[in-house]
Amino acid sequence: MTSKVYSRKKVAVPRLIQVQESEPASGNEVTVSHLPLQTESELELPIAIRKGMRECTKRSLYPLSHVVSFKKLSWSYKSFLTSLNTIHIPTTLSEALSNENWKQAMNAKMKILEKNNTWELVDLLAGKRPVGCKWVYTVKYKASGSLERYKARLMAKGYTQTYGVDYLETFAPVAKINTVRILLSLVANYNWDL
């Protein structure tokens, strides 16, 4: 019986060559030992050249002008959009104070906050900073598109709170989960409608 011996094919191992740049930058000496090793086959690869800019040769089936254009809107919707652009919504307090409508909206909001006893005045502790606030302005419209009212909200800057000092205080009308659970248990026990 003859026995066959299997052996792996011998593959030529590529020889590694160190490549040196033709002209090193002035003042920066490049030593051969710091250059990357490359095989002879890598050196023979052609250099890739960037392709040119692509151009749109055929016309789009769904042009953007069909989506963005006002041509296909009804006249009532066009007038509604025009009315949205006529009222300037201020971004700063000084802009709002220059318009009487926004002043009235801020005064109305302050009266509501005072009526609900939203805050209490306390002395500021030494070395502590108060949490700041900012006015946010919006315009409310009726379903017909006519102006309903100017609305101003006073928002606390919650991101200025400090952990361990005033971090657990909330400045928005947020119900605590325990309150919601109690309310739902009362509804279930007394068969109330929600």
Summarize pLDDT for 154-172 with one digit per residue, the tens: 887 877 667 766 666 666 6
| Three-point CA angle 32, 38, 44, nearest 5° | 120
Would you put residue 48 in left (φ > 0), alpha (ψ -120 to 50) or beta?
beta
**38 and 19 Cβ atoms separated by less than 8 Å:** yes
| Whether residue 12 has pLDDT greater than 90 | no
Confidence at 194, pLDDT banded by 50, 70, 90: confident
Radius of gyration of the CA atoms of the chain, in A: 36
Average pLDDT, rounded, for the chain = 75
Confidence at 105, pLDDT banded by 50, 70, 90: very high
Q: What's the CA gap between 186 and 165, in Å, rounded? A: 35
For residue range 34-52, what is the model confidence (pLDDT) as tens digits?
Answer: 556 566 666 666 666 666 6
| Longest CA–CA separation in the chain, Å | 111
| Whether residue 27 has pLDDT greater than 60 | no
The CA dihedral of 101, 102, 106, 111, to the nearest 10 degrees, is 10
Q: What's the CA gap between 14 and 51, in Å, rounded? A: 31
Mean pLDDT within 57-75:
72
| Three-point CA angle 141, 143, 144, nearest 5° | 95
Task: Supply the DSSP symbol for 30.
Answer: -
Confidence at 187, pLDDT banded by 50, 70, 90: very high
pTM over 0.85: no
Q: Which residue has the higher pLDDT, 94 or 74?
A: 94
